[in-house]
Amino acid sequence: MEQKETCFAKRVRCIVKLGGAAITSKHKLETIDEENLKEVSSHLRQAFVPDSTSANVLGMDWSRRPGQSEAPSFVDDFSDQPAGDSESFIVVHGAGSFGHFQASMSGVHKGGLSRPLVKAGFVATRISVTSLNLEIVRALAREGIPSIGMSPFSCGWSTCQRNMTKADISMVIKAIDYGFIPVLHGDAVLDTLQECTILSGDVIIRHLAAELKPEFVVFLTDVLGVYDRPPAEPGAVLIQEIAVREDGSWSVVKPKLEDTSKPVEFTVAAHDTTGGMVTKITEAAMIAKLGIDVYITKAATEHSVKALSGILKGGIPDDWLGTAIRYMS
C-alpha cells in the first residue's frame, strides 16, 4: 500500500458502512429508499453531532428543491459563533440498485477496457454510483453533517488484479482534520493488470480501518445481522457475538448454538446466497483482528442507534439485536 501522509490529529471514532440494500430499493433500478436514508442520516447526526436535535439542525444542502425556483433561506440561522465540531467519522456506502446493473451488464469487474462494452459500462457505472453518492451526501448535509463526497477513482485509488494496491488516504485524513465527514463509495477503478475492476465498499472499509484505527466499525444492512442459516428458514438463530482470534479463526460466543459440530463457515456460506454475508464476515473478522469492534445490524432501528453510539464497547446487552464481531486475545 502506498501512502503519503500518515500523521493525523483527530482520532476517527467510527467508520460506518451504509449497505446498498439498506438505503436503496433493491429490486427497483436506481431508486433510493428515501425514508430509510432520512432515518439513517438522522441517527448519524444524533450519534456524532453533540447537542444536536432535529429542531436545531442547520442544513448544509442549499440546493434548489424540485418545483421551486429559489434557494431555501437559511443564512440568518447560522450564528457567527464557532460551533461544536461533530465527532470524526467516515461513511462508506455500497451501490444497492445503483451501479450493479451497469457493472454486471458490461463485466467491468472482469476488466478489458479495449472492449467498447466494458469501457461504456465503466462510464455508466461511475455515473450511477456517483449519483447515489451525491444523494447520500445531500441527505447527510440536510441533517447538518458536513459531508464531503469523495470518489475512490478521483482519489487515485487503483487495484492490481482486483486487490487494492494504491490508496493514498491523505486527502481523507485532511478532510477529517478540517472537520468534514468523508463519504466514499464502491467504485469502478483502474487495475494495473486487467485495466479496470470494481472496488467494493467493504474492501475500502477494511483498508481505512487498518490505516485509521477507528474506535469501532458499524455495518448497517437490511437484516438484523448474521444468522446460522437463511433468516427466512424456520428456527434461524441470530448470531449475537463472534470472537476472532489472533490467527484469524473465529467462533460463535453467543448464543450457544445447539449443533456445535457444525462449522460456522458452513452456516454463513449458506447465508451467502441471500446476502453476501461470507464476504461481510470475512472482512469484519479482518477488521476485528486489529482490535477494532465490528457491529453488523439493521439500519434505521433502535439497534443501529445503539451500535453507532458506541455503548456496545462496554458489553453487548441481551436485548440488542445484531452481530458483534470482536477480537479475543
- The distance of closest approach from Cβ of residue 201 to its own copies in the complex, given in angstroms and rounded to an integer, is 16
Q: Of 128 and 267, which has the nearer Cβ to its own copies?
A: 128
Per CB under 8 A, the segment of 68-76, 215-223, 240-248, 249-257 that binds its own copies is: 68-76
Q: Would you count residue 81 as binding its own copies (CB under 8 A)?
A: yes
Residues 121-150 contacting its own copies, CB under 8 A:
121-124, 126-128, 130-131, 134, 137-138, 141, 146-150
Residue 5 CA, chain-centre distance (Å), reads 23
Total residues contacting its own copies (rule CB under 8 A)?
67
Q: Would you count residue 61 as binding its own copies (CB under 8 A)?
A: yes
Per CB under 8 A, the segment of 38-46, 65-73, 223-231, 287-295 that binds its own copies is: 65-73
- The distance of closest approach from Cβ of residue 262 to its own copies in the complex, given in angstroms and rounded to an integer, is 41
Q: Would you count residue 51 as binding its own copies (CB under 8 A)?
A: no
Q: Please identify which residue in 8, 13, 165, 171 interacts with its own copies, judged by CB under 8 A.
A: 171
Beta carbons of 167 and 208 less than 8 angstroms apart: no
Residues 98-117 contacting its own copies, CB under 8 A:
101-102, 105-106, 113-117
Binding residues: 95-96, 100, 201, 222, 276, 280
Q: At what angle do helices 201-212 and 277-288 cross, to 10 degrees?
A: 0
Binding residues for ATP: 96, 201, 222, 276, 280
Residues 191-220 contacting its own copies, CB under 8 A:
195-196
Q: How far is CA 27 from CA 20, 39, 234, 295, in A?
A: 11, 20, 25, 26
Helix (H, G, I), strand (E, B) or coil at 121: helix
Terminal C-alpha separation, the chain: 27
Rg (CA), the chain: 20
Instruction: Enumerate the β-bridge partners of residue 283.
Output: none
Beta carbons of 37 and 304 less than 8 angstroms apart: no
Location of C-alpha cell 464497547: 313
Q: Would you count residue 179 as binding its own copies (CB under 8 A)?
A: yes
- Nearest CA to 113 among 199, 204, 192, 203? 192
Q: At what angle do helices 170-177 and 201-212 cross, to 10 degrees?
A: 70
Q: CA-CA-CA-CA torsion for 202, 203, 208, 209, nearest 10 degrees?
A: 70
Q: Of 30 and 272, which has the nearer Cβ to its own copies?
A: 30
Q: 263 preceded by cis ω (within 30°)?
A: no
Residues forming the site for its own copies (CB under 8 A) = 28-31, 58-64, 69-71, 75, 78-83, 101-102, 105-106, 113-117, 119-124, 126-128, 130-131, 134, 137-138, 141, 146-151, 153-156, 158, 168, 170-171, 174-175, 178-180, 190, 195-196
